[in-house]
Amino acid sequence: MGNIGISIYPAKSTFEQDKAYLDLARKYGFTRIFTSLLEITGDADAVIHKFKEIIAYGNAIGMETILDINPGLFKQLNTSYDDLGFFQDLGAAGIRLDIGFTGLEEAQMTKNPYELKIEVNMSNETKYIENILSYHPKKESLCASHNFYPQKYTGISQSHFEETTALFQKHNIHTVAFVSSQTGKFGPWPVQTGLCTLEQHRNLNIHTQVTHYRLMDNIDDLLIGNAYASEEELKAMSKAFFSPHPNFEMELIDGLSDIEKKIIFDEIHLYRGDRSEYMIRSTSTRIKYKNESIAAHHTDQIKKGDILICNDDFGQYKGEAQVALKDMENNGNRNVVGHLKKDAIFLLDYLEPWSTFTFSL
């Protein structure tokens, strides 16, 4: 299992604000910090002290920091890619190269004597990673992260994400992507309408964003791009990321029996292997609850995302839980007991047969 992390922007906040945020995130299992030092403006010593202080605090509570930089910063610091001592002194665990070099420099940087991680940008669909690998980097020090996008409609598409991520997965390189808080107000730039990697995530709640990445199973670490996420969001992200089974948020209809609630919420559902294009079937519940009565009710027409329980009129199928993948007729033998939250319905397309899953409100 990977790690979850948050982003802080010390140039736009105080040490006390960031410290409180780190403490809150650590409480929910967050162990990574992302921050951005693309350029130093104003009093360089004061800026560097501010970063050093909060990075040191993060290290003290078990949160490691990756620092986003670009080649211009090396010039500003009067240093070069073959001397990363400045970042070691800052207390960073590694640096992320916002803009790449030629491949040779990245490979050489992975062999730095401080064992700093070198994180490269994986959002551009080029032969970049193949080029770096051709120079024989120290692979255990090489990792990769997608960009985040503050401007609405500029986040990457699902297809581009899958293509670029596959290039790094092929070489077993540790991968990172960003999700967006709906309460976060700032990032590294003045413009900010969320800070996500995938454009389709921009307005989704954090539980759904994280569950989508979990179901895709191609990203190791997830970071919240903007600051500050609410405690509710930190808790939701932790639950979605670390829970033993992917969890789907749903809305329940009123007036369900206790048995129906138990079938939905107390069971770990298993997506039956003989796939139907119309529904996901979780069949073990019909064995466990075969002696219980499930009266027919809410036998409305079925829409994609509806949660169903087979009722007393369905013979040996009584008690089986189902999730509709398509709109269907209802012949009166399936109770529509609830439905996935509207923004989460697309997640069904990523669930595979023989996967386990759970429901929550």
CATH 2.40.100.10 domain position(s) in the chain = 249-360
pLDDT in the model for residue 41? 82
- Give residue-wise pLDDT tens across range 162-219: 999 999 999 999 999 999 999 999 999 888 899 999 999 999 999 999 999 999 999 9
3-state secondary structure of 128: helix
4-243 has CATH 3.20.20.70 classification:
yes
Q: Which is it for the CA torsion 112, 187, 64, 246, positive or negative?
A: negative
CATH 3.20.20.70 domain position(s) in the chain = 4-243
- Give residue-wise pLDDT tens across range 245-269: 999 999 999 999 999 999 999 999 9
Q: Quote the CA–CA distance of 240 and 326 in Å, as a whole number.
A: 25
Q: Which residues contact 16 (CB under 8 A, 6 or more apart)?
A: none
Q: Which residues contact 3 (CB under 8 A, 6 or more apart)?
A: 30, 31, 32, 220, 221
Counting as low any pLDDT under 50, the low residues of the chain are none
* Residue 233 dihedral angles phi and psi, to the nearest 5°: -70, -40
Tokens representing 346 are 């697309």
249-360: CATH topology is: Cyclophilin (2.40.100)
Q: How far is CA 180 from CA 26, 32, 223, in A?
A: 18, 15, 8
pLDDT in the model for residue 80? 87
User: What global pTM score does this model have?
Assistant: 0.96
